[in-house]
């Protein structure tokens, strides 16, 4: 590495080709400019104020010795040049003759300290090597330059307690003499000639310096690539393996070296060494470089150069080396194998210890089981001993239940595993038969329910059982009920009379939650229903004084749909009994009313239409309407059946047999100069005879509106004749009142329907479907962009008027009426849309 670029010419300037590097030396111009208070100052020009650092300046105003004007690369690292003292002109003249002797010497001629030193760059130089000093002077000359200034520095120091001739600081520990400068021998870089510290700096600032250690380390690293000057042979290096390394290698190879058969028998030719080698598995390659081949020098492993003979090693015994290597490999394999065997034995010890713990736990469990089984066996043997006829202390059913409870509480596992069926058959069944020996179910229906419920919890199987006969072989309680309890029930049912149903119903209600479901079904289907069916066949509604519903309906909660086969013969017998019936006989209603909610709605309506409605129609046909002397018996007979027959059937009877005669009497009465007050009372009296449900029917409402229209026409037609005072106003008021009531009732019904729909939770999809004709018209109006809205305060015959576009309409029973020239005309929905457009 050449150091010529660090040298300067005699005037202290850089070479021309190094204009990027600036000169940091202190020149005479710097000293004169700094210590001259009357120096010429540079005033900023207008151009400099405008362009700043880019303004053009004269070369005379530039500071000398700061290189050329070309752009500098400030991102490059700082390069240092040799620091030293700027000699005066006289000294420089004396040194010109010796320049030749101080030219840079070759690297071999440098002092020993220079060779290994690394050049200090990057700002790591010390501040003591950076400042300027005028040479070594005594403290008497300290601050002598103040004779050229006003001496403010010395005055400030004295005010802060400085005593001339002593050091700075609180304890005067500072140095007295100025920092001395040491002249460098040549013109090399900083640190090229060794340490530059002076004797004074070592005394004032003693530090532990590790430069000698760094020097030795640097020399060591520097000499690694050089040829050994001593010429001694390189010592061979040996590789040692510990037992732990071999064990670790064996564990890794055990996990990784499990090659497949086709990979384990592959011929591999190795030509990476001095001679060709053949391997017969990939695993052999891993042992190739176990011993480093460092015995031979590097030159012996390379092919000989042309013209030179290859050096033959002085000691080469390949057979001995092979045998030694083979012994080493065998020893390694033996160590690895022994380690694996040791690990296997340790694992085996751990496994056997776990097995021993498990077997000890199993042994303890078996001992507990044996002990519990012994105790259970003792209890069972004690029960069998007390079951013997010759025993002085016989076993009772309650004591047996306590024994089973003990087995279930203390020895639950053994109790579940044991065969409860055989144990219950042998011990419980005889005791249960003896307990129910004198039992009469119809007299004491709740007898034995508590004890049987207790045995149900003890004997019934926990798993879900199907309701069939196969349960007898799987559940002890089911078998107990079937073989012990069921015979008493069969015996009592054969003696039971169906018309006396209350004791049997109470008996089954008491046992319904105790006995199995399939046994209850067997009782109802095989024992109760045949008795009821036989009794219904022998029943005669004309001669029997006991109503049939009194001994059939109590079975509805238990039998429910099982009784449906009995309904058809009952309806048939009732129909035959009603052939000669007259509505004046109210006993028919008392017999039929309990069956209204039992029969299906369809069958009940068909029965009413066939047997009751014709009789009521005949009765209304015989009714005579006479305002002066009215007999209401026949009308009451018909209206009394309102809850029994449907509203539509009743309205049909009124339209056919009542309203024609009633309207005819009204017309004849109005034609003979009547008293309109009496007519009003007569109208209101007949209307009060009907319920709100009947009056809300459109047909009945139309008939009463027709009567109002007839009265209005009668009042309007007698303009010139004599008219009762206030009759016209009374009739008009009556009409208005009745129409308002109808409107209020309709509004209330619509509100109720809306509330019911909200409670049912009808979704948005369902709400989008039109529920009535008005909603349909509104939907069509939205589709065709037509305004459809009610007319506030406008009605026609009690009907709300609407505007459909520019057309006025009203809706009556699903028909749209459009206002014409003189009257209202019905029209279709499509025609209404066409007219609105």
The H-or-E segment that residue 789 falls in is strand 788-796
Contact at 8 Å (CB) between 87 and 189? no
Query: For 524, which DSSP code?
Result: I
780 closest CA partner among 802, 758, 754, 756: 802
| Residue written as token pair 């053994």 | 414
Contact at 8 Å (CB) between 552 and 575? no
The H-or-E segment that residue 802 falls in is strand 799-804
Q: Determine the Cα–Cα distance for residues 470 and 12; give it in Å rounded to an integer.
A: 124
Q: Determine the Cα–Cα distance for residues 361 and 566; give it in Å rounded to an integer.
A: 67
For residue 825, the model assigns a pLDDT of 84
- What is the domain extent for residue 819? 773-836
Q: Determine the Cα–Cα distance for residues 482 and 461; give it in Å rounded to an integer.
A: 15
For residue 216, the model assigns a pLDDT of 79
Asked if residue 29 belongs to a domain, the reply is no
Asked if residue 782 belongs to a domain, the reply is yes
Q: Determine the Cα–Cα distance for residues 523 and 689; give it in Å rounded to an integer.
A: 52
Q: Determine the Cα–Cα distance for residues 455 and 457; give it in Å rounded to an integer.
A: 5
For residue 721, the model assigns a pLDDT of 44
Q: Which tokens hold the place of 775?
A: 């909603």
The H-or-E segment that residue 818 falls in is strand 815-819
CA pseudo-torsion sign 56, 59, 65, 68: positive
For residue 714, the model assigns a pLDDT of 80
Contact at 8 Å (CB) between 811 and 777? yes
3-state secondary structure of 810: strand
Weakly modelled stretches of the chain, pLDDT under 70: 1-23, 37-42, 57-145, 170, 173-179, 205-211, 223-236, 253-264, 283, 286-315, 418-421, 461-474, 718-728, 757-771
Q: Determine the Cα–Cα distance for residues 528 and 507; give it in Å rounded to an integer.
A: 13
- Which neighbouring-strand residues pair with 810? 801, 817
Collect all residues with Cβ–Cβ distance below 8 Å to 521 and sequence separation of at least 6.
Answer: 467
- What is 676-691 written as a DSSP string? HHHHHHHHHHHHTTS-
Contact at 8 Å (CB) between 679 and 666? yes
Contact at 8 Å (CB) between 441 and 488? yes
Contact at 8 Å (CB) between 445 and 510? yes
Asked if residue 781 belongs to a domain, the reply is yes
For residue 203, the model assigns a pLDDT of 74
- What is 533-567 written as a DSSP string? HHHHHT--TTT-SS-THHHHGGGHHHHGGGGHHHH
Asked if residue 755 belongs to a domain, the reply is no
Asked if residue 322 belongs to a domain, the reply is no
Please state, as a whole number, how many other Cβ atoms lie within 10 Å of the Cβ of residue 777. 21
Total domains in the fold of the chain: 1
CA torsion, points 634, 637, 643, 646, in degrees to nearest 10? Answer: -50
């Amino acid at each position: 590495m050449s150091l010529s670029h660090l040298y300067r010419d005699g005037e202290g300037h850089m070479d021309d080709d190094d204009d990027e590097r600036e000169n940091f030396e202190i020149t005479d111009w710097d000293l004169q400019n700094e210590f001259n208070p009357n120096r010429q100052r540079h005033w900023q020009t207008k151009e400099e104020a405008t362009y700043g650092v880019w303004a053009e300046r004269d070369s005379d105003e530039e500071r000398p010795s700061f290189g050329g004007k070309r752009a500098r690369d400030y991102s490059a690292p700082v390069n240092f040049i040799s620091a030293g003292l700027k000699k005066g002109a006289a000294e420089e003249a004396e040194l010109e003759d010796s320049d030749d002797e101080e030219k840079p010497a070759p690297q071999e001629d440098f002092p020993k300290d220079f060779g290994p030193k690394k050049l200090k760059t990057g700002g790591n130089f010390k501040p003591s090597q950076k400042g300027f000093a005028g040479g070594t002077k005594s403290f008497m000359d300290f601050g002598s330059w103040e004779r050229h200034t006003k001496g403010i520095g010395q005055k400030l120091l004295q005010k802060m307690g400085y005593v001339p001739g002593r050091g700075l600081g609180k304890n005067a520990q500072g140095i007295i003499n100025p920092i001395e400068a040491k002249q460098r021998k040549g013109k090399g870089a900083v640190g090229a000639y060794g340490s530059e510290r002076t004797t004074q700096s070592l005394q004032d600032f003693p530090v532990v310096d590790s430069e000698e250690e760094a020097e030795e380390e640097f020399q060591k690293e520097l000499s690694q690539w050089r040829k050994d000057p001593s010429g001694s042979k390189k010592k061979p290096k040996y590789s040692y393996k510990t037992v732990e390394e071999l064990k670790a290698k064996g564990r890794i190879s055990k996990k990784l070296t499990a090659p497949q058969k086709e990979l384990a028998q592959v011929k591999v030719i190795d030509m990476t060494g001095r001679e060709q080698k053949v391997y017969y598995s990939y695993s052999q390659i891993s042992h190739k470089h176990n011993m480093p081949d460092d015995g031979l020098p590097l030159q012996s492993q390379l092919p000989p150069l042309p013209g030179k003979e290859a050096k033959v090693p002085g000691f080469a015994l390949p057979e001995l080396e092979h045998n030694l290597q083979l012994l080493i490999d065998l020893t390694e394999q033996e160590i690895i194998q022994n380690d694996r065997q040791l690990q296997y034995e340790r694992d085996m010890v751990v496994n056997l210890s776990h097995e021993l713990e498990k077997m000890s736990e199993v042994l303890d469990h078996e001992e507990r089981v044996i002990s519990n089984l012994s105790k259970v066996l003792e209890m069972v043997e004690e029960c069998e001993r007390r079951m013997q006829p010759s025993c002085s202390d016989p076993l009772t059913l309650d004591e047996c239940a306590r024994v089973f409870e003990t087995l279930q509480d203390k020895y639950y596992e053994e109790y579940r595993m044991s065969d409860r069926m055989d144990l219950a058959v042998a011990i419980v069944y005889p005791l249960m038969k003896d307990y129910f020996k004198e039992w009469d179910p119809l007299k004491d229906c709740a007898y034995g329910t508590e004890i049987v419920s207790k045995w149900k919890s003890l004997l019934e199987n926990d798993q879900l059982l199907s309701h069939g006969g196969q349960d007898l072989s799987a559940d002890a309680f089911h078998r107990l009920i079937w073989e012990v309890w069921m015979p008493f029930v069969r015996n009592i049912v054969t003696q039971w009379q169906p018309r006396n149903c209350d004791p049997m119903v109470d008996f089954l209600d008491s046992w319904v939650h105790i006995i199995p479901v399939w046994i209850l079904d067997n009782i109802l289907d095989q024992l109760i229903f045949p008795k009821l069916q036989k009794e219904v066949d022998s029943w005669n509604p004309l001669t029997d004084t006991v109503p049939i519903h009194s001994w059939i309906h109590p079975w509805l909660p238990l039998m429910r749909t099982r009784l449906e086969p009995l309904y058809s013969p009952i309806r048939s017998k009732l129909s035959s009994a009603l052939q000669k019936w007259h509505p004046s006989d109210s006993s028919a209603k008392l017999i039929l009313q309990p069956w209204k909610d039992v029969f299906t709605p369809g069958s009940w309506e068909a029965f009413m239409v066939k047997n009751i409605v014709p009789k009521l129609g005949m009765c209304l046909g015989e009714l005579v309407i006479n305002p002066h002397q009215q007999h209401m018996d026949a009308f009451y007979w018909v209206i009394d059946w309102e809850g029994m027959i449907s509203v539509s059937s009743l309205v049909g009877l009124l339209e056919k047999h009542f309203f024609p005669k009633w309207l005819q009497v009204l017309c004849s009465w109005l034609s003979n100069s009547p008293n309109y007050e009496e007519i009003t009372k007569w109208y209101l009296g007949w209307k009060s005879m009907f319920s709100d449900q009947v009056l809300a029917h459109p047909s009945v409402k139309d008939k009463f509106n027709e009567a109002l229209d007839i009265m209005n026409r009668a009042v309007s037609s007698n303009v010139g004749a004599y008219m009762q005072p206030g009759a016209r106003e009374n009739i008009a008021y009556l009409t208005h009142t009745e129409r308002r009531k109808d409107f209020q009732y309709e509004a209330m019904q619509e509100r109720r329907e809306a509330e019911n729909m909200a409670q049912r939770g009808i979704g948005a999809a369902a709400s989008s479907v039109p529920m009535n004709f008005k909603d349909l018209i509104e939907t069509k109006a939205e589709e065709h962009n037509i305004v459809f809205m009610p007319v506030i305060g406008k009605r026609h015959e009690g009907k709300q008027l609407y505007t459909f576009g520019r057309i006025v309409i009203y809706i009556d029973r699903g028909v749209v009426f459009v206002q014409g020239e003189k009257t209202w005309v019905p029209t279709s929905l499509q025609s209404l849309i066409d007219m609105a457009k």
